[in-house]
């Protein structure tokens, strides 16, 4: 057990301005608070917070973190309160202790590590100050170091598995290699004791054999570098048992050679010297192809920087070499913690506080590559989520603002559909209550319950919303069927036709309806007019009134509008049906050709339409056509544009404003592709002629949020 003055001295070695008085007071406070409590080992309980504080001091953390380490279990396990801590040590420390306490409570609540991924996110979400997480990791490390004192083997295994799945990955993501290795090895020993032992034994054997050789390798590397004018500290580092084990599993190999267990590390004083050292080594030894990595120019997402290479080195030994500066080395070992130490040039406490967070975010920003842990690294992201427990301890992740109804639907849609009430941490609450991180949620269900439309007002998850809507729609459908049927009966009666199910059945296909109810519902919902149905069942009814097509009312109206004007095309056989190709949307002014299509009349394409290639073999189908000079210039034609827009607020609005100002009318929009940066879309615009469209395109091209505009061809 480290003594009081030793701890203070240790802190002062790297932080001469440390708050000595508070450190001393925290030491005494925690010792008194834990009093006669003891640990599984029989040691006084206080040895644990003290051990945690020592680990934090070895990471060279600030006084507040170390004081938090000393106090971290007092609120949960003793009579001390957060108020006491705030009074004695100030708001910063009390906030940190509060954070660690909350994490501890959640840890106690969750027996299941099935949802390790969510749990890691939860831990991140709750650590709004990175120091909370560092204290928690140190706490876990100390508990792992003393794990063997716990008698219950199942409990030991559970704690070890949790460490492996949750805390080691968190340490890695924060770039704390040494902490990660230690947590993994301690867990590995517990979870897979046999494998651990066999690796350790083998390591000992190789180590004895290799001592001299390691020495000779280091000496020779040193000489090579010195002759090239580079001063370096070279060490041989034994790889951690768990990482050897992982490598054996991954590559399915045995480890036999020194090179499998040793890595050599060359620490120099500047970045240029890193590359010079690398050059000297590569000039002197052959390098093993495919193993060189430059993490200096491209750091890893957790900010790890170093040069890696593999050489056929001294004595024809294959060796792995890492080259880095002192600073890179410390960052590799201590991760975020080292960053803080390196960049604290001001002594201003408040400035320090913010720099911590800023730097963390900087570091985490580096993860914005397609790296697998990207989504787990961004602290901020998890501030948008809440994590709650089922009564069994399963963890459910939900968006912030989620309610018990969202929770119920996340568990199972059946649970959602039948939920009548909820208990939050044992207390009954309204279904619209907002959930908080760490809440335990129990849903009360009743078979008689059905989703209520009012739930839609407060749920936030898409899943809950769509289930509720679906239910509401089903209920509405009943009403629509009634209504549609009544409308049809009236329409038929009004026109003196018999309304029979047989007649309706005959036209179901035409309306794409599965059965009569389906058609009634569509009529009731206004998708089809009663009149359309009547004229389909009794085509004679059609003749009595205006001629009508089927389809929807909207399309029907358009068609009518168009047929009021003559089609302005010359060169056609009279009476032949004409329509414009949907692939190229020809406009007056475009050079066009007609293609005779059996049963369809003539289709007009632009002369440069890609589709025309497929008619190259059948020249007899081509018709030479042109636009009729018409004084009716108001007839709209549809031009189709392919537009690439920046994916940013307002760009779509911009697009429609520009088109509107230029007197074009957007008749259809379709997004064909969508990425983080861009939207690609097809925009159909009603214009007078090709010149009109060209004007619109020019205006669009001038807009900054629009990346490219061209006419869609084929």
Which residues of this chain interact with Mn ion, rule CB under 5 A? Answer: 73, 139
Answer whether 604's CB lies under 8 Å from 583's CB. no
Nearest to 291 by CA among 327, 268, 318, 253: 318
DSSP reduced 3-state for 358: helix
Question: Cβ contacts of residue 274 below 8 Å, gap of 6+?
Answer: 268, 296, 307, 323, 324, 325
Minimum distance from residue 445 beta carbon to Mn ion (Å): 38
- Return the ∠ at Cα 195 (arms to 201 and 288), rounded to 5°: 75
Residue 600 φ then ψ, to 5°: -125, -5
Minimum distance from residue 58 beta carbon to Mn ion (Å): 17
Minimum distance from residue 140 beta carbon to Mn ion (Å): 8
CA distance 708 to 475: 46
* Closest to Mn ion by CB, 73 or 190: 73
Strands (E), 283-416: 286-287, 293-294, 307-312, 318-325, 385-389, 395-399
* Closest to Mn ion by CB, 62 or 139: 139
* Closest to Mn ion by CB, 46 or 255: 46
* Closest to Mn ion by CB, 94 or 344: 94
Where helices occur in 35-109 by DSSP H, the ranges are 47-58, 63-71, 74-77, 82-109
Q: Among the options 9, 15, 20, 76, which is catalytic?
A: 76
* Closest to Mn ion by CB, 135 or 533: 135
CA distance 591 to 298: 54
* Closest to Mn ion by CB, 147 or 266: 147
DSSP reduced 3-state for 605: strand
Minimum distance from residue 73 beta carbon to Mn ion (Å): 5
Is 92 one of the catalytic residues?
no
Question: For tokens 């907002």, what's the residue?
Answer: 434
Nearest to 65 by CA among 74, 52, 78, 76: 52
CA distance 131 to 336: 10
* Tokens of residue 232, six digits: 């370096």
Nearest to 638 by CA among 666, 677, 610, 660: 666
CA torsion, points 97, 103, 109, 114, in degrees to nearest 10?
-160
Answer whether 420's CB lies under 8 Å from 447's CB. no
Minimum distance from residue 138 beta carbon to Mn ion (Å): 9
Minimum distance from residue 414 beta carbon to Mn ion (Å): 40
Minimum distance from residue 379 beta carbon to Mn ion (Å): 22
Position closest to Mn ion via CB = 139
CA distance 240 to 231: 28
* Closest to Mn ion by CB, 139 or 181: 139
DSSP one-letter string for 551-583: S-HHHHHHHHHHHTS---EES--TT--EEE-TT
* Closest to Mn ion by CB, 49 or 636: 49
Minimum distance from residue 77 beta carbon to Mn ion (Å): 8
CA distance 417 to 441: 16
Nearest to 665 by CA among 656, 652, 673: 656
Q: Among the options 20, 43, 77, 628, which is catalytic?
A: 77
Question: For tokens 């050599």, what's the residue?
Answer: 264
Minimum distance from residue 107 beta carbon to Mn ion (Å): 10
**Residue count (the chain):** 714
CA distance 605 to 603: 6
* Tokens of residue 66, six digits: 């170390």
Residue 527: CB atoms within 10 Å: 16
* Closest to Mn ion by CB, 139 or 260: 139
DSSP one-letter string for 102-161: HHHHHHHH----TTHHHHHHHHHHH-SSHHHHHHHHHHHHHHHHTGGG---HHHHHHHHH
* Closest to Mn ion by CB, 37 or 543: 37
Minimum distance from residue 72 beta carbon to Mn ion (Å): 6
Answer whether 88's CB lies under 8 Å from 82's CB. no
* Closest to Mn ion by CB, 74 or 302: 74
CA distance 51 to 48: 5
Is 190 one of the catalytic residues?
no
Residues annotated catalytic, as ranges = 76-77
């Amino acid at each position: 057990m480290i003594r009081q003055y030793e701890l203070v001295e240790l802190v002062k070695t790297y932080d001469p301005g440390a708050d000595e008085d508070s450190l001393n007071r925290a030491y005494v406070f925690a010792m008194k608070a834990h009093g006669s409590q003891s640990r599984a080992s029989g040691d006084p309980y206080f040895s644990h917070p003290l051990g945690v504080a020592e680990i934090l001091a070895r990471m060279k953390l600030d006084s507040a973190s170390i004081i938090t380490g000393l106090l971290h279990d007092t609120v949960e396990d003793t009579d001390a309160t957060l108020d006491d801590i705030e009074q004695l040590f100030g708001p910063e420390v009390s906030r940190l202790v509060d954070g660690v306490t909350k994490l501890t409570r959640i840890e106690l609540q969750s027996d299941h590590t099935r949802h390790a991924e969510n749990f890691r996110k939860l831990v991140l979400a709750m650590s709004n100050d990175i120091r909370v997480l560092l204290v928690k990791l140190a706490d876990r490390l100390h508990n792992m170091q003393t794990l063997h004192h716990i008698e219950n083997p199942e409990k030991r295994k559970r704690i070890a598995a949790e460490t492996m799945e949750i805390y080691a990955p968190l340490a890695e993501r924060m770039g704390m290699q040494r902490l990660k290795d230690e947590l993994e090895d301690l867990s590995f020993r517990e979870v897979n004791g046999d494998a651990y032992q066999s690796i350790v034994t083998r390591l000992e054997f190789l180590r004895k054999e290799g001592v001299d050789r390691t020495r000779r390798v280091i000496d020779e590397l040193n000489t090579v570098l010195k002759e090239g004018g580079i001063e370096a500290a070279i060490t041989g580092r034994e790889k951690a048992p768990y990482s050897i084990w992982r490598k054996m599993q991954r590559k399915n190999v045995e480890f036999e050679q020194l090179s499998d267990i040793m890595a050599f590390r060359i620490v120099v004083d500047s970045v240029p010297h890193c590359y010079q050292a690398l050059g000297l080594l590569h000039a002197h030894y052959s390098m093993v192809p495919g193993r060189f990595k430059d993490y200096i120019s491209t750091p890893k997402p957790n900010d790890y920087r170093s040069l890696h290479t593999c050489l056929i080195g001294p004595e024809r030994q294959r060796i792995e070499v890492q080259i880095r500066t002192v600073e890179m080395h410390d960052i590799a070992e201590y991760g975020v913690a080292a960053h803080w130490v390196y960049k604290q040039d001001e002594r201003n406490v408040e400035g320090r506080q913010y720099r911590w967070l800023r730097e963390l975010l900087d570091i985490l920003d580096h993860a914005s590559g397609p790296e697998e842990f990207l989504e787990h690294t961004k602290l901020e992201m998890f501030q948008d989520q809440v994590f709650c427990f089922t009564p069994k301890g399963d963890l459910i992740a939900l968006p912030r603002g989620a309610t018990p109804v969202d929770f119920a639907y996340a568990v199972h849609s059946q649970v959602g559909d039948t939920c009548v009430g909820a208990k939050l941490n044992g207390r009954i609450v309204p279904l619209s209550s907002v959930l908080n991180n760490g809440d335990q949620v129990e849903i009360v269900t009743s078979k008689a319950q059905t989703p209520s439309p009012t739930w839609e007002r407060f749920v936030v998850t898409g899943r809950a919303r769509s289930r509720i809507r679906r239910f509401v729609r089903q209920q509405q459908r009943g009403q629509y069927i009634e209504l549609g049927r009544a409308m049809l009966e009236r329409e038929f009666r009004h026109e003196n036709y018999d309304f029979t199910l047989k007649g309706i059945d005959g036209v179901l296909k035409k309306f794409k309806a599965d059965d009569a109810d389906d058609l009634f519902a569509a009529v009731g919902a206004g998708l089809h007019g009663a009149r359309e149905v009547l004229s389909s069942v009794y085509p004679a009814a059609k003749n009595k009134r205006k001629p009508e097509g089927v389809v929807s009312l909207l399309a029907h109206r358009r068609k009518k509008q168009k047929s009021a004007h003559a089609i302005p095309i010359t060169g056609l056989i009279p009476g032949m049906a004409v329509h414009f190709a949907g692939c190229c949307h020809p406009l007056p002014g475009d050079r066009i050709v007609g293609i005779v299509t059996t049963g369809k009349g003539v289709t007009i394409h632009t002369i440069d339409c890609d589709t025309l290639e497929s008619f190259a073999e059948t020249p007899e189908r081509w018709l030479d056509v042109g636009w009729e000079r018409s004084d009716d210039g108001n007839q709209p034609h549809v031009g189709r544009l392919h537009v690439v827009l920046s994916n940013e607020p307002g760009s779509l609005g911009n697009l429609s404003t520009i088109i509107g100002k230029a007197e074009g009318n957007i008749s259809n929009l379709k997004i064909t592709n969508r990425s983080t940066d861009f939207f690609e879309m097809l925009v159909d615009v009603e214009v007078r002629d090709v010149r009109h469209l060209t004007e619109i395109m020019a205006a669009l091209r001038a807009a900054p949020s629009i990346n490219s505009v061209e006419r869609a061809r084929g």
